[in-house]
A and B are shown apart, each in its own frame.
Chain A
Amino acid sequence: MSNSTETESLPGQRFRERFPLLALVIERMLLSVLLLFAVSVLIFGGVEALPGDFASTYLGQSATPQAVANIRAELGLDRPLVTRYFEWLGGAVQGDFGTSWASRNSVSEQVGNRLGNSLFLAGFAAVIAVPLAVGLGMLSVHFRDRLPDKIINVISLAAISLPEFFIGYLLILYFAVNFGVATFPATVFEGMGLIERIKAIALPTATLVLVVLAHMMRMTRAAILSVMSSAYMETAELKGLSAWRAIVKHAAPNALAPIINVVALNLAYLVVGVVVVEVVFVYPGMGQYMVDAVTVRDMPVVQACGLIFAAVYIFLNMLADILAIVANPRLRHPR
């Protein structure tokens, strides 16, 4: 920030000093809005740049010049790019994402349903993966360079090295086909009981847990280890604290910031990056919906999905930063 703005925005400066956290949140929110705006321009431009527009890709081989022209005229695709973008934006800021070009249904309604499914799966995977990863990380610090540490490392690295669809297929092969203990496909639908739902998503959840586990576990391990080598940990050891207690009470809080960050990244991945897992397990989530839409250039749906994904990503990152600052007061006063 330059000097001139500092003197001019004195009340802002004072606010920032009194409520550093709140100021940060507000600043981040404003930035997020700008980011979302940029994302929407990028998506719009990107889809426009793809060869073939909605009319020609939707009709595919059966497109006749007349049919293409009819659809273009009906949807207003014959008007200039900028006009169409601002029309869409006008609706979007009022919370109206329009109707899908392909099915002529309300986008908000359909997205709501799919988003719920995606969040359910992601949430369930997170509830299992996060404590497991952090716990395993602590365990492997405790048994550093001994057999349990090595086993945990090898298994989690093996899991992250395999592509997610392959893990999915392996789980299906063993648990659904060979042993017949798990439910497959993981199709969930309206009116399905909670227990049924949880049974249905067992395999995709397991896949996601295996995929995100290693990243978080390794980061936990590395962060705690670096803290462990610091002076106050030596003191803790010297004053006779048990090793486990020293890790939980002293090392973990100081190692929280990087762990929170990597957890947030993985949570975001669980929501926005699971298209492949959704396809493999036949799970009706957002990813599959967006892919369907991109293949026919169904712009309103692509835009809505893209914005939601971006928003989830931005929100989780912001949350991670805030939590890191709360956990570590030193970050509150950037020099």
Chain B
Amino acid sequence: MNDFTKYLAGRVTAGGMNRREFMGRAMAAGLTLTAASQLFTESAEAQQPKKGGHLKLGLEGAAATDSRDPAKALSQFMFVVSRCWGDMIVEAEPLTGKPVPALAENWEPSPDAVTWTFKIRSGVKFHNGKTLTVDDIVATLRRHTDEKAESGALGVMKSIKDIKADGDNLVLTLTEGNADLPLLLTDYHLVVQPNGGVDDPNAMIGTGPYKVASFEPGVRATFEKNADDWRSDRGFVDSVELIAMNDATARIAALSSGQVHYINRVDPKTVALLKRAPTVEILSTSGRGHYVFIMHCNTAPFDNNDLRLALKYAMDRENMVKTILGGYGKVGNDFPINSTYALFPEGIEQRAYDPDKASFHYKKSGHSGSVLLRTSEVAFPGAVDAAVLYQQSAKKAGINVEVKREPGDGYWTNVWNVQPFSTSYWGGRPTQDQMYSTAYLSTADWNDTRFQRPDFDKLLLEARSELDETKRKDMYRTMAMMVRDEGGLILPMFNDFVNAASKKVKGYVHDIGNDMSNGYVATRVWLDA
């Protein structure tokens, strides 16, 4: 059973899918009629979600400085908090990453993908008893476009020119065509609030499966079941408690002593030990975040593509995944997209460690002397170790890499995006378009490889408004090849999200969208007594 059918089976179990829908989609995914039928019966009977119980999560990432306003949510902790009490207009399907209905029932783009019409769901109630209307959604989106709201989604909202209601429909007009608009609306800051949260952005009132019972920033948040929830396939436990635990050992102790049911951010170095605990299950999910070594394509000596290729071939990716991620990750291929993205360009040859090729390109580049790589522990966990490992693998190709350890304070200001060769980290983006626009467009603020290619920029803009998926996929393939073979990015690994739960926790969905089941962990799981 592959992940997708597993997910479908989970949806059946969660009560979110009927037989007809399940059969159609399972067979489309390649199952035979008998197999699908049998699977449906099994899933429906075997793991019926149990309702009730008190779910406790011990999470890293909370700080006393956390704001209640979803627009300003930054931390992992607040990410889960807003998923509990709020809903988005559109959600991303956990296993395919495609947009699926949430507060919008369906949507339709104009042929040029500039104007989008969303039909808003009726009969949805906020926690304060008010009924959701299209005006609430319009107000929400407008608030996030206001610079003063300091919304984390401001960048996304900048591409929307006009927001208005048309009867029960929401109509969005963009500055230019964008086929990915529904996915952009899945941004976790864009929680729909009554009147957009203009009256009180900190009220924590939404349409989600749980109502906030108490919240103390940097300490704890508790929730109670929303009896009027408009969805039946989520919110199985009666109450949820999130406890801030920034110490990795404290989280592990709390989980193994049974004080919490779920923890995030398990250190790859201690996963093997935690695995031995009989009551604990490790939950590892492929993610979009990646650890990178970045070269400035416009700065000597890295303005020479042969030197860049030499340094790419000198990277022992398998060893990096094994050593730095403890095996919890996937090798990268020097472009920032992996199979968790929709329209992932398949079949691009995996670049492997090849000292001979590295040495060939190195000689061709004519560079002599050492290459200075700057790194710091804040770049990503294990960045200094990774730099030293790289130094060793490059040595075998006759390339002398000099590693300079920089102080963590000020690394993002003084080294990253400033110095020509350094280590860094990128979190994923909802779409390929966003990833490339953020860091590979010539004019992007965060073009940290100084990749300036007019043909690439043109292709990126064309792909954005292309509604034909086959054509779009081809474009993304060309772009991936450009970055892979001519860019300044060495991408040795994509890190998995490593979390852990008590075996009592059932129904966990491995969501490719983001960490902790895309933040929905508390609303998707149930407790087996």
> Which residues of A come within 8 Å of B, CB atoms?
50-52, 56-57, 60-66, 100, 102-104, 110, 114, 169, 172-173, 176-177, 180, 183-185, 187, 189-191, 279-282, 284, 288-289, 292-293, 296, 298
Q: Is the CB of B410 within 8 A of A52?
A: yes
> Which residues in A have their C-beta under 8 angstroms from that of B58?
185, 282
Task: Give the dominant DSSP class at B's interface.
Answer: loop
> Which residues in B have their C-beta under 8 angstroms from that of A102?
63, 65
25 A-B Cβ contacts within 8 A?
A: A51-B407, A52-B412, A63-B412, A64-B446, A102-B63, A176-B257, A177-B256, A184-B254, A184-B257, A185-B245, A185-B259, A187-B243, A189-B219, A190-B216, A279-B247, A282-B58, A282-B243, A282-B245, A282-B246, A282-B247, A282-B254, A284-B218, A288-B246, A293-B64, A298-B65
Q: Is the CB of A191 within 8 A of B214?
A: yes
> Which residues in B have their C-beta under 8 angstroms from that of A281?
250
B365: interface (CB < 8 Å): no
Residue in A50, A176, A189 whose beta carbon sits within 8 Å of that of B409 in the complex? A50
Residue in A56, A61, A189 whose beta carbon sits within 8 Å of that of B214 in the complex? A189
- CB A110 to nearest CB in B, in angstroms, measures 6
Looking at A172, A173, A280, A289, which has the most chain B CB atoms within 10 Å of its CB?
A: A172
Docked pose: A63 CA to B412 CA in angstroms: 8
Which residues of B, 233-283, contact A by the 8 Å Cβ criterion?
243-247, 249-250, 253-254, 256-259
A61-B65 contact given A184-B257, A185-B245, CB 8 Å threshold: no
Residue in B63, B407, B409 whose beta carbon sits within 8 Å of that of A292 in the complex? B63
A61-B416 contact given A169-B253, A180-B258, A185-B259, CB 8 Å threshold: yes
Docked pose: A100 CA to B66 CA in angstroms: 11
Q: Is the CB of A280 within 8 A of B409?
A: no
Docked pose: A292 CA to B246 CA in angstroms: 11
Q: Is the CB of A52 within 8 A of B413?
A: yes
B499: interface (CB < 8 Å): no
Q: Is the CB of A279 within 8 A of B65?
A: no
B96: interface (CB < 8 Å): no
Q: Is the CB of A100 within 8 A of B65?
A: yes
Docked pose: A187 CA to B245 CA in angstroms: 9
Query: Top 10 A-B pairs ranked by shortest CB distance?
Result: A51-B410, A102-B65, A52-B410, A177-B257, A103-B65, A56-B413, A64-B445, A284-B219, A176-B257, A172-B253
Docked pose: A199 CA to B66 CA in angstroms: 28
- CB B157 to nearest CB in A, in angstroms, measures 15
Q: Is the CB of B409 within 8 A of A52?
A: yes
Q: Is the CB of A190 within 8 A of B214?
A: yes
B67: interface (CB < 8 Å): yes
Q: Is the CB of B64 within 8 A of A63?
A: no
Query: What residue in chain B is nearest A289 (Cβ atoms)?
Result: B64
Looking at A60, A177, A191, which has the most chain B CB atoms within 10 Å of its CB?
A: A177
> Which residues in B have their C-beta under 8 angstroms from that of A61?
412, 416, 424-425
- CB B449 to nearest CB in A, in angstroms, measures 14
B220: interface (CB < 8 Å): yes
Number of residues of chain B lying within 8 A (CB) of chain A: 36
- CB B399 to nearest CB in A, in angstroms, measures 28
Residue in A60, A65, A280, A298 whose beta carbon sits within 8 Å of that of B412 in the complex? A60
B414: interface (CB < 8 Å): yes
- CB A182 to nearest CB in B, in angstroms, measures 9
> Which residues in B have their C-beta under 8 angstroms from that of A172?
250, 253, 257
- CB B71 to nearest CB in A, in angstroms, measures 13
Docked pose: A169 CA to B65 CA in angstroms: 27
Q: Is the CB of B66 within 8 A of A103?
A: yes
Docked pose: A313 CA to B256 CA in angstroms: 38
B101: interface (CB < 8 Å): no
Query: What residue in chain B is nearest A182 (Cβ atoms)?
Result: B257
> Which residues in A have their C-beta under 8 angstroms from that of B64?
103, 110, 114, 284, 288-289, 292-293
B217: interface (CB < 8 Å): yes
Looking at B58, B246, B256, B412, which has the most chain A CB atoms within 10 Å of its CB?
A: B412
Q: Is the CB of B410 within 8 A of A56?
A: yes
Docked pose: A213 CA to B65 CA in angstroms: 35
Q: Is the CB of B250 within 8 A of A185?
A: yes
> Which residues in B have their C-beta under 8 angstroms from that of A65?
445
> Which residues in B have their C-beta under 8 angstroms from that of A177?
253, 256-257
Residue in A50, A169, A173, A189 whose beta carbon sits within 8 Å of that of B220 in the complex? A189
Q: Is the CB of B409 within 8 A of A51?
A: yes
> Which residues in A have their C-beta under 8 angstroms from that of B249?
169, 280
Docked pose: A187 CA to B218 CA in angstroms: 11
Docked pose: A63 CA to B130 CA in angstroms: 38
Looking at B249, B250, B424, B446, which has the most chain A CB atoms within 10 Å of its CB?
A: B250
Docked pose: A100 CA to B65 CA in angstroms: 8
Query: What residue in chain B is nearest A190 (Cβ atoms)?
Result: B216
Docked pose: A148 CA to B505 CA in angstroms: 50
Docked pose: A176 CA to B357 CA in angstroms: 55
Q: Is the CB of A187 within 8 A of B65?
A: no
Docked pose: A102 CA to B65 CA in angstroms: 6
> Which residues in A have their C-beta under 8 angstroms from that of B67?
103-104
> Which residues in A have their C-beta under 8 angstroms from that of B259?
176, 183-185
Query: What residue in chain B is nearest A55 (Cβ atoms)?
Result: B413
- CB B146 to nearest CB in A, in angstroms, measures 14
> Which residues in B have their C-beta under 8 angstroms from that of A288?
64, 218, 246
Q: Is the CB of B413 within 8 A of A185?
A: no
A296-B257 contact given A51-B407, A60-B412, CB 8 Å threshold: no
Docked pose: A104 CA to B71 CA in angstroms: 14
Q: Is the CB of B257 within 8 A of A279?
A: no
Docked pose: A60 CA to B254 CA in angstroms: 30
> Which residues in B have their C-beta under 8 angstroms from that of A169?
249, 253
Query: What residue in chain A is nearest B65 (Cβ atoms)?
Result: A102
> Which residues in A have their C-beta under 8 angstroms from that of B254?
184-185, 282
- CB B483 to nearest CB in A, in angstroms, measures 19
> Which residues in B have their C-beta under 8 angstroms from that of A282?
58, 243-247, 250, 254
